[in-house]
Structure 1
């Protein structure tokens, strides 16, 4: 006769050492022992008799025990051993519990490391360690809700770092998608946060574009008395007008100083395409002087603290600030705008050559992207004219037109 809730609640252990068994239906029974009341189900699988533990009363009620029995019977009918399925589920939950957001994030950063610049990895790691891990790092990633992530982002936003909040949200989304691909999360919960953050205010990197002002800052750079690494980076920044992260992560293996070329691999470029920077005579001179200092190591501009890392992203901008130039006047990245403006509007260089040298996407008349060697001879000549023009500006000799730069 099937069991009832009243009977189960009132039945007591009889004192037998082995306990007492009370059958319900379809192989489900209640095993009453001195320590408690246990649900069990007997079944046969692959010709062998098995016993499945379904839980303890009253945590598992009669109704729930019958539901678990029915689920187990369905597994047997499907050729699956319920006991093995239970072990697998327990193991999966243990893995999920140990797969915290921090462990998944660090695994993700390690996976993408070969395809990212050291600077990008350093920045992403710092963002996570300072802003995300303290709040949700210890939580199993499968249990994190959209609101948990939003709370982190709102704190960043409250500091006024709106752009950083958006970038950290994007980074968290990448971690969640990595966890989904690894079978440790169901979905990327950051997709539910679309529109939850304030829009990023549009802004441009501060830049000096008036030739006479460029001449003044060049004179200040050459008079700079700070660390030699910083001074060399300052000198090269306007000469090469690459992105600051590309310059500070430059490696000696990428340079051919005799040929006057710097070949930056695609993994270091924002557009993901190999880039060639022709080196003017002045750039080669600066690099040869740096080679005497750092040529035995990996990086052209190593960290002052360790040769294992490249120069800090703040070094050049900090040097500019020490020279009296605030971030509202000029930034390291702003020298790209300086070059773009003056090369076009003052020196009359071809805009497509300038854009190509800025590593922007440049396409031909048929919409096809030029390869990295396109117009290399012409760009090499342009880079030398630019370096000579900067020398003239620094010496106060250049005017405001292409003839004065000759």
Structure 2
């Protein structure tokens, strides 16, 4: 076996015929030539004797390392051996120490990252693992994006306090939306209660859940929630107000048409025909505005005068939802006929601007609310929206009205016409609670009685809108 040192020139001249050649250099380096798919390589090892046994240590290979690097590695190994330390064991220990240092660094980084988790981070985690609502959490995401995250989204959970939660409610209070405050307060409580039970959030709430300090007394003392915030709304439109609403629609249209050319876009526009039809349909069918705005032409038979409302479009828990088949009175059918001329070429009765879906289910409510701005507590008009009092009824004496109040008004009209409450509930699409045995044996759908009720209501509305004298509701 040769005991001469390798030279660069010799290494570069190696061929496959040199495969397996072993060379021992005089300074303890032993090499072996390997010819493989990746070309010619030379493995370098350092050998020494200790305790009567031969030991070796891999230095690496050429050409991955240069000759100078390989011999420097040998010098370090030799120095380590001279201290009675196995360089292989020393290298393994160094690797373990380095890995431990990396693991410690990662753990510290994760700890710091966890300590700096924000309300936005919690909200996103909660949406994924902590809450599942029927709209796939769409309304939660919208409300938090509007009222919560802009105020406290960047706040770290470990620093979150009662004052931060109050800031959210105070900011929303400025818009005069009291019911919104209740919803926001409840949703923030639910999110933080979930955080209390799950890592890493519960570890960040060492001082407790700040929502626990948001007691009714605190909210009441700060006048953040009105005393009647949880009361059921009972607004109905009187017959005089129904007539007044019809007259407002007509006057806005006539005033608009009478404007000189060039001024039509500077005054108050008339109420959109789609909105007018929606108003009269809600009143005459007792439907929810959301059910109407999600409706499709495939579910409406104008010739037969029927409207099918799928259970998926109705309100309530999934297991309690049910389809509703509405028989359209002549009055209600005429509203759909007007709409069909406007949107019949699309699948949706109220299509969005692209025509690929229905409009947002709160669109009509917002449009009607924009024309009752005295009740909105807005400092300035919203961009691209109406800002006037053209739809305020009875001079505002009875307060604001909403599309849902029309559903209540129509129900009250039916009641005054002698329709029994159970039939009114069925017309509204309510699920009537009954003993289980009744549901097992009684399957009559009261379609005839419902059709008669809708027909009576349609006649009552038409008479109301054409009569000279307006009388209040009275029980039949």
TM over 0.5: yes
Q: 1:252 is matched with which residue? A: 296
Which stretch shows the higher mean deviation, 234-243 or 325-334? 325-334
Distance change (3 Å), C-alpha of 1:267 and 1:305: closer
- Counterpart among 222, 229, 235 of residue 206 in structure 1: 235
Q: 1:379 is matched with which residue? A: 450
RMSD: 4.4
- Is the 2:365–2:402 contact (alpha carbons within 8 Å) kept by the matching residues of 1? no
1:286 to 2:325 alignment: no
Distance change (3 Å), C-alpha of 1:228 and 1:102: farther
- Is the 2:165–2:211 contact (alpha carbons within 8 Å) kept by the matching residues of 1? yes
TM-score (norm 1): 0.62
1:239 to 2:322 alignment: no
- Is the 1:146–1:189 contact (alpha carbons within 8 Å) kept by the matching residues of 2? yes
- Is the 2:243–2:464 contact (alpha carbons within 8 Å) kept by the matching residues of 1? yes
CA positional deviation for 1:229: 1.8
Describe how 1:113-132 pairs up with structure 2 within 5 A: 115-116=134-135, 121=138, 124-125=140-141, 127-132=143-148
1:337 to 2:408 alignment: yes
Cα deviations by residue, 1:51-102 (Å, 9 ceiling, x for unpaired): 489xxxxxxxxxxxxxxxxxxxxxxxxxxx99758735643653664x5323
Q: 1:314 is matched with which residue? A: 366
1:262 to 2:278 alignment: no
Which stretch shows the higher mean deviation, 129-138 or 180-189? 180-189
Distance change (3 Å), C-alpha of 1:154 and 1:368: farther
Q: How far, CA to CA, are the matches of 1:214 and 1:337 in structure 2?
A: 13
- Counterpart among 273, 287, 306 of residue 228 in structure 1: 273
Q: How far, CA to CA, are the matches of 2:422 and 2:189 in structure 1?
A: 36
CA positional deviation for 1:219: 5.0
Aligned residues: 324
Q: How far, CA to CA, are the matches of 1:182 and 1:296 in structure 2?
A: 51
CA positional deviation for 1:284: 3.2
Cα deviations by residue, 1:256-290 (Å, 9 ceiling, x for unpaired): 32561231434651455234150414333322432
1:362 to 2:441 alignment: no
Q: Unpaired runs of 5+ in structure 1?
A: 1-46, 54-80
1:190 to 2:236 alignment: no
Q: How far, CA to CA, are the matches of 1:394 and 1:372 in structure 2?
A: 37
| SS of residue matched to 2:403 | coil
Distance change (3 Å), C-alpha of 1:329 and 1:170: closer
CA positional deviation for 1:395: 1.6
Cα deviations by residue, 1:287-322 (Å, 9 ceiling, x for unpaired): 243234334556433456987642353123445742
- Is the 1:100–1:141 contact (alpha carbons within 8 Å) kept by the matching residues of 2? yes
Distance change (3 Å), C-alpha of 1:245 and 1:303: same
Q: 1:40 is matched with which residue? A: none
Which stretch shows the higher mean deviation, 155-164 or 387-396? 155-164
Q: How far, CA to CA, are the matches of 1:267 and 1:88 in structure 2?
A: 49
Q: How far, CA to CA, are the matches of 1:107 and 1:300 in structure 2?
A: 37
Q: 1:91 is matched with which residue? A: 110
Q: 2:19 is matched with which residue? A: none
Q: How far, CA to CA, are the matches of 1:161 and 1:230 in structure 2?
A: 23
Q: How far, CA to CA, are the matches of 1:296 and 1:189 in structure 2?
A: 54
Q: How far, CA to CA, are the matches of 2:316 and 2:333 in structure 1?
A: 24
Q: How far, CA to CA, are the matches of 2:284 and 2:435 in structure 1?
A: 30
Q: How far, CA to CA, are the matches of 2:466 and 2:241 in structure 1?
A: 12
Q: 1:18 is matched with which residue? A: none
